[in-house]
Structure 1
Amino acid sequence: MRALVHNPDAPHGLCLGQAPDPVPRDDQVLVQVRAISFNLGELKNLAAHPPGHVSGWDAAGIVVKAAADGSGPPAGARVVTFGWTGGWAELRAVDTSELAVVPDSIDLGPASALPVAGVSALQALRGLGPVLGRRVLVTGASGGVGRYAVQLAARAGAHVIAAVGSPERGIGLTGLGAAEVVVGLDNVSEPVHGVIDNVGGPQLSDAVTLLADGGVIQWIGQASDQPTVLDARQRAGHRSWRLESFAVAAPFGPDLAVLVDLLAKGEIDPQVGWRGPWERASEAAHALLSRQVQGKVVLDVTEEHLVSCA
Structure 2
Amino acid sequence: MRALLVDRSAASGLRLGEGADPVPAPHEALVRVSALSLNFGEVKHGIAGAPDGTVLGWDAAGVVERAAANGSGPVAGTPVVTVGLDGAWAELRAVDTSALGVAPEGADLGALSTVPVAGASALRALRRIGPLLGKRILVTGATGGVGRYAVQLARLGGAHVIASTGDPQAHGDGLRALGAHEVVAGPELLGSLVDGVVDCVGGRQLVQSFDKLAANGTLVAVGRATDEPESFPPGAFYGYDGRHGRSITTFYLLDGVPLGPDLSWLADGVAAGGLDPQITWRGGWDKAGEAISALLERRLHGKAVLDLA
> What range is the shorter-chain TM-score in?
over 0.9
C-alpha distance in structure 2 between counterparts of 1:284 and 1:35, whole Å: 14
Q: Deviations over 1:198-256 (max 9, x none)?
A: 11111111111111111110011111221111122523534121011122134321210
Structure 1 equivalent of residue 21 of structure 2: 21
| SS of alignment partner, residue 287 of structure 1 | helix
For residues 165-196 of structure 1, the C-alpha deviation after alignment (integer angstroms, 9 at most, x for no partner) is 11223341111110001112343110100000
Q: How does 1:247-286 map to 2 (within 5 A)?
A: 247-248=252-253, 249-250=255-256, 251-286=258-293
- Between the aligned partners of 1:105 and 1:50, the Cα distance in structure 2 is 37
Greater Cα offset, 54-63 or 200-209: 200-209
- The equivalences for 1:102-121 within 5 A come to 102-121=103-122
Asked if 2 retains the 8 angstrom alpha-carbon contact of 1:169 and 1:294, the reply is: no
Who is 2:175 aligned against?
Answer: 173
Please give the secondary structure, in 1, of the residue aligned with 2:216.
Answer: strand
AA paired with 2:38?
F
Structure 1, unpaired ranges of 5+: 303-310
Determine the structure 2 residue equivalent to 1:226. Answer: 228
| Alignment correspondent of 1:243 | 248
3-state DSSP of counterpart to 2:187: coil
Task: Please say which of residues 166-175 and 115-124 is displaced more in the overlay.
Answer: 166-175
What is the TM-score with the length of structure 1 in the denominator? 0.94
1:47-101 CA-partner distances (Å, limit 9, x unpaired): 2111000001101111111112221111111111111111100111111111111
Q: Retained in 2: the 8 A contact 1:209–1:233?
A: no
Give structure 1 regions of 4+ aligned residues with deviation exceeding 6 angstroms.
none
Choose from 195, 198, 218 the match for 1:196. 198
TM-score (normalised: structure 2)? 0.94
SS at match of 1:146: helix
Deviation at 1:259, TM superposition (A): 0.7
Amino acid at match of 2:170: E
The CA distance in 1 between the partners of 2:227 and 2:172, in whole Å, is 21
Residue-by-residue CA offset, 1:97-138 (whole Å, 9 max, x unaligned): 111111124200010110011110000000001121110000
Instruction: Determine what percentage of the aligned residue pairs are the same residue.
Output: 52
Q: How far apart, CA to CA, are the structure 2 residues paired with 1:171 and 1:290?
A: 23
Letter in 2 for 1:61: G
Match in the other structure for 1:306: none
Amino acid at match of 2:129: L
Within-5 A mapping of 1:48-59: 48-59=49-60
Aligned residue number for residue 308 of structure 2? 301
**What pairs up with 1:32-111 in 2 under 5 angstroms?**
32-44=32-44, 45-111=46-112
SS at match of 1:169: helix
Aligned residues: CA RMSD: 1.3
SS of 1:11's equivalent in the other structure is coil
How far apart in 2 are the matches of 1:226 and 1:276?
Answer: 33
Residue type at the aligned position of 1:198 = C
How many residues in Structure 1 have an aligned counterpart in Structure 2?
302
Contact 2:122/2:147 (CA < 8 Å) preserved in 1? yes
- The CA deviation at 1:261 is 2.3
Moved more, 241-250 or 105-114: 241-250
**Aligned pair 1:290/2:287, yes or no?**
no
Whether the 8 Å CA contact 1:150–1:162 is kept in 2: the answer is yes
Match of 2:146 in 1: 145
Higher deviation after alignment, 292-301 or 240-249: 240-249
Instruction: Judge conservation of contact 2:187–2:212 (CA < 8 Å) in 1.
Output: no
- SS of the aligned residue for 2:236 comes to helix
